[in-house]
Structure 1
């Protein structure tokens, strides 16, 4: 019964914007801060080990400030927004949609077929292009016909499907 309660509580906190910091204080992350982080994605960073509430982000990782919520900053890990307390550099909120494609996460088969049968010249992007990577603004995207949500590029290893609005990779081959 105790395990069921813990899982239920964890699910509640993950979806509500509430978090338990390391010292067992409940922190409510403002919705405006969460909205800002989603609207302003950042290049992903690599975290060694398990990322969870209360994890202290190393000083070597740049935490971007959230302008209207000065006590908070953010990073992206595996395509997942993570909100951090600027004072202690502790994780106070993790999005539960890690690396997910928009909505239900399903990429339409016709979109995949289209980009695989219509290759383009590959572009060079520094670093690995994985789910959640933000494609730089200076990289031209190719539109997917009849799919206003998606564009694509070919990178060194193959095609990458991009959510046009955020320029975030939602699928790679």
Structure 2
């Protein structure tokens, strides 16, 4: 019985780690980055660290990207940022 519990815990930890790794990696299409780099939008000020996973407040307007419903962008603190428009979470800071 003890081996079954240890195996179950090990499996849980293994699968849990895999799930975290999958959500942390987002492959953004090149045309999305290109579009964002070409846009001339005003920068908004955000008090806090603009990092992957940071959820932007409702006061920050997220701009849409044509034909790319899974991505939005905003320029925050002079940085171009890709955002998930549904969750408002930062996906990538575009350099």
- Does the pair score TM above 0.5? yes
Question: Does structure 1 residue 139 correspond to structure 2 residue 60?
Answer: yes
Deviating above 4 A after TM superposition, structure 1's stretches of 4 or more consecutive aligned residues are: none
1:100 aligns with 2:29: no
Query: Which SS does the other structure have where 1:164 is aligned?
Result: coil
Q: Matches of 1:97 and 1:119 in 2, distance apart?
A: 34
Contact 1:99 1:170 (C-alpha < 8 Å) held by counterparts: no
Shift of 1:150: 1.1
| Deviation sequence 1:20-77 (CA, Å, 0-9, x none) | xxxxxxxxxxxxxxxxxxxxxxxxxxxxxxxxxxxxxxxxxxxxxxxxxxxxxxxxxx
More helix by share: 2
Whether 1:153 and 2:74 are equivalent positions in the alignment is yes
CA contact (8 A) 1:119 1:159 kept: no
Q: TM-score, normalised by structure 1?
A: 0.44
> In structure 1, which of residues 102, 122, 131 is the aligned counterpart of residue 43 of structure 2?
122
Residue-by-residue CA offset, 1:78-124 (whole Å, 9 max, x unaligned): xxxxxxxxxxxxxxxxx6148625xxx20000000000011311001
2:85 corresponds in structure 1 to 164
Q: Which has the higher strand share?
A: 1
Instruction: Decide which of 10, 14, 19 is 1:11's aligned counterpart.
Output: 14
Unaligned runs of 5+ in 2: 1-6
**Distance verdict in 2 for CA 1:118–1:137, change over 3 Å:** same
Higher RCO (Cα < 8 Å, 6 or more apart): 2
Could you tell me which runs of 5 or more consecutive residues in structure 1 were left unpaired when the two chains were aligned.
1-5, 16-94
Q: Residues 121 and 164 of structure 1: is their aligned pair in 2 closer, same or farther, counting only changes over 3 Å?
A: same
